[in-house]
């Protein structure tokens, strides 16, 4: 079984899939990709399939540590252009 499949089952994150896992002495970095095609504005009900761009900097979040390793999730987030709120992640 692949390590990405194991982390897909362990983390069970909605609308994402684990694409890579990087292990170092202190960190466990899980790279996730968003599966959804539609982008939703977080401030209103605007929904679109048109992506404005992808953030140039990879976003990351800390998850619960596994053993002695710090677990971080990283993802390239897409941005949309909302007619009300402009370009937003």
| Binding map of Zn ion across residues 54-83, x = CB under 5 A, - = no contact | ----------------------------x-
DSSP H or E stretch at residue 1: none
**DSSP-derived pairing of the beta strands 59-62 and 53-54:** unpaired
Q: Is 41 in the site for Zn ion (CB under 5 A)?
A: yes
Who contacts 13 (Cβ-Cβ below 8 Å, separation ≥6)? 32, 73
CB of 15 to Zn ion, least distance (A): 19
Binding footprint of Zn ion on the chain (CB under 5 A): 41, 43-44, 46, 82, 84-85
């Amino acid at each position: 079984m692949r390590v990405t499949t194991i982390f897909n089952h362990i983390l069970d994150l909605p609308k994402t899939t684990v694409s890579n896992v990087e292990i170092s002495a202190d960190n466990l970095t899980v790279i996730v990709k968003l599966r959804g095609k539609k982008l939703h504005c977080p401030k209103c009900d605007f929904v679109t399939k048109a992506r404005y761009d992808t953030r140039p900097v990879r976003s990351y979040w800390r998850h619960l540590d596994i053993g002695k390793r710090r677990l971080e999730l990283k993802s390239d987030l897409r941005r949309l252009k909302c007619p009300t709120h402009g370009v937003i992640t």
